[in-house]
Amino acid sequence: MAYIIDGHNLIGVLPDISLAQPDDEARLVDRLLSYRAARSGDMVVFFDGSPAGAPVARRSGPASAGIDVRYAPAGQSADDAIVEYLRGRRQPGQYAVVTNDQGLIARVRALGASVLTASQFSAQLARRKPKPHRAAALKEAPAPNPRAPGFADLYDEFIATEEAARARAAEPKADLQTWIDRLYTGDPQLQQQAAKVLGQSRNAAAIGPLRDALTAALGSLRSERALGDLIALLKDGNSMVREAAAQALGALGSAKAVAPLQEVAAGDGKNKVRKAAQTALALEAIAARKK
């Protein structure tokens, strides 16, 4: 099975790579190269277009075989690029899309692709394959292959879910910024864990991000009290915060958010944030017509 990876979404759940790092994309590609060298299955990694338009340097040689790094073109999000790529495949069912983005999950499943959440895939990246005992391996009769096409997806889902819980318990403590990024991954279980860890950290630097995440949640619940804070978050230094704020403003449906969202839709440096603002503006227009 080949993997299609929502690159920035996956970075958001990794314990040792942060979206705040200037070389976050290159770090992810290096990690995938190491993972791919020991396993089969081609990978296509999609990133939102970089402002400078400079893609991650492509590797050459056997170690890079099977990994294709792509940037969404100007005006298109990585989500849309992934969907367009799948639509161009003869057999989309041969692909597993790695993402926590619920909207993207629904779209790729509609095309026939399977899904492996970014949280589950993160656990697979950390997995260490055990070496079988030689004597025991000789005595065992050949067993059915659990990777057979008929139930490979089910097997992957079961194993990855089980190992994700173990990996989270065993992984070294992530730095503060990584846990902050996890507040905005789209994975409710991971968001809850991040909020708990940050709350227990007693670190004053966690207060602001926790307040911002709560504000975004209140906006999604259509609480007018969150309007001013959500508009302010559109200028936050973390792109995941800006994206969550734009989504919450779209759910809130206030005319006061139109101008700030238009500014973000036209000039934010991250394509996903611009896309979220554009979607929010469309929702605002629908809400205005219904009034």
Q: Which of 35-49, 160-174, 235-249, 255-269 is predicted with the least confidence, judged by mean pLDDT?
A: 160-174
Name, in order, each residue with C-beta under 8 angstroms of 101's C-beta and a sequence gap of 6 or more. Answer: 6, 9, 79, 186
Q: Which two tokens stand for residue 112?
A: 């026939």
CA angle, 15 as apex, 12 and 18 as ends, to 5°? 45
Reference 95, options 157, 2, 10; nearest CA is 2
CB burial string 175-199: b at 16+ within 10 A, e below: ebebbbbbbbbbbeebbebbbebbe
User: Pairing state of beta strands 114-116 and 95-98?
Assistant: parallel
pLDDT tier for residue 49 given thresholds of 50, 70 and 90: confident
| Distance (Å, whole) CA 272 – CA 67 | 23
Q: Which of 153-162, 246-255, 269-278 is predicted with the least confidence, judged by mean pLDDT?
A: 153-162
What is the Cα 6 distance to its own chain's centre? 6
Q: How much is the average pLDDT of 19-31?
A: 88
Helix/strand/coil for 2: strand
User: What share of the chain has pLDDT > 70, as a percent?
Assistant: 71
Greatest mean pLDDT among 86-95, 157-166, 208-217: 86-95
| Distance (Å, whole) CA 237 – CA 277 | 16
Q: Which of 35-39, 222-226, 280-284 is predicted with the least confidence, judged by mean pLDDT?
A: 222-226
Q: Up-side HSE of residue 183: CA atoms within 13 Å toward CB? A: 29
Name, in order, each residue with C-beta under 8 angstroms of 268's C-beta and a sequence gap of 6 or more. Answer: 239, 242, 274, 277
| Distance (Å, whole) CA 156 – CA 180 | 28
Note the pLDDT tens digit of each residue in 274-288. 988 888 888 777 666
Alpha-carbon distances, residue 257 vs 218, 236, 284 (angstroms): 15, 16, 9
Report whether 42 contacts 89 (CB < 8 A): no
pLDDT of residue 227 exceeding 50, the answer is yes
Q: Model-level pTM greater than 0.85? A: no
Q: Which two tokens stand for residue 291?
A: 């009034």
Residue 97 phi, psi dihedral angles, 5° rounding: -95, 130
User: Pairing state of beta strands 114-116 and 67-71?
Assistant: unpaired
Alpha-carbon distances, residue 32 vs 63, 211, 220, 224, 285 (angstroms): 10, 34, 34, 43, 41
Instruction: State the pLDDT at residue 74.
Output: 81
| Distance (Å, whole) CA 186 – CA 165 | 17
pLDDT of residue 262 exceeding 80, the answer is yes
Q: Which two tokens stand for residue 64?
A: 């890079």
| Distance (Å, whole) CA 249 – CA 142 | 57
Helix/strand/coil for 116: strand
Domains and CATH numbers, the chain: 2-170 (3.40.50), 176-290 (1.25.10.10)
Q: Which two tokens stand for residue 159?
A: 């194993």
Bigger pLDDT: 166 or 247? Answer: 247
Q: How much is the average pLDDT of 264-271?
A: 89
Q: Which residue has the tokens 């080949």?
A: 2
Q: Which of 147-151, 181-185, 231-235 is predicted with the least confidence, judged by mean pLDDT?
A: 147-151
Note the pLDDT tens digit of each residue in 143-156. 555 555 555 555 56
